[in-house]
């Protein structure tokens, strides 16, 4: 079950972005939970493109705790920023790329293709598909989440095509 405070914050985010052209989706643990995966949620992650990251920051400016800027770590880079809304950390991730084994960078996902919509309290909330989440966790070497999603996708939906790659 998703704590009511996360639902309230999603309503605020949705309402601020509703009339915009921002292409965004909830990802991470909340994205998984919204699709029924039994995970504990501690924060909110918003996936978007570069322009969307800066527009989300602009539309939710009073909550900004870290301005959006290009940020790179060893295995991941993006236009990254953070908000705190009602005590909950919200991360903005724009044009994410992950490092391949050959040290090159691999671009993110086509949100239009990998986005799903879940309804919560009458709001249409975009989420990154579970299959795409699975691939993202593989790229990042997050084996615990990979195994959780492998079991969830295979057991709940009989999904195995992508998982066998």
Tokens at residue 29, please? 């643990």
Model pLDDT, residue 156: 59
Query: What pLDDT score does 161 carry?
Result: 46
- Predicted structure pTM score: 0.87
First to last CA, the chain: 31
Taking the CA of residue 21 as centre, how many other CA atoms within 13 Å lie in the half-sphere pointing to its CB?
2
Residue 6, burial from CB neighbour count under 10 angstroms (0-12, 13-18, 19+): buried
For residue range 38-77, list pLDDT tens digits in order. Answer: 999 999 999 999 999 999 999 999 999 999 999 999 888 9
Q: What is the pLDDT of residue 50?
A: 96
Which residues does the chain have with pLDDT short of 70? 156-165
Query: 4-129 domain in CATH 3.30.460.40?
Result: yes
In angstroms, the CA 42 to CA 82 distance is 14
């Amino acid at each position: 079950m998703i704590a009511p405070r996360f639902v309230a914050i999603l309503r605020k985010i949705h309402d601020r972005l509703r009339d915009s052209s921002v292409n965004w989706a909830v990802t991470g643990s909340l994205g998984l939970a919204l699709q029924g995966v039994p995970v504990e949620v501690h924060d909110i992650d918003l996936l978007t493109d570069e322009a969307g990251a800066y527009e989300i920051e602009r539309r939710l400016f009073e909550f900004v705790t870290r301005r959006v800027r290009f940020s790179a770590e060893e295995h991941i880079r993006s236009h990254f920023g953070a908000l705190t809304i009602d005590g909950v950390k919200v991360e903005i991730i724009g044009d994410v790329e992950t490092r391949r084994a050959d040290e090159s960078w691999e671009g993110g996902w086509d949100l239009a293709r990998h986005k799903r919509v879940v309804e919560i309290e009458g709001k249409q909330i975009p989420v990154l598909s579970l299959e795409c989440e699975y691939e993202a966790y593989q790229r990042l070497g997050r084996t615990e989440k990979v195994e959780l999603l492998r079991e969830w996708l295979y057991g709940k939906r009989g999904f195995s095509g992508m998982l066998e790659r």
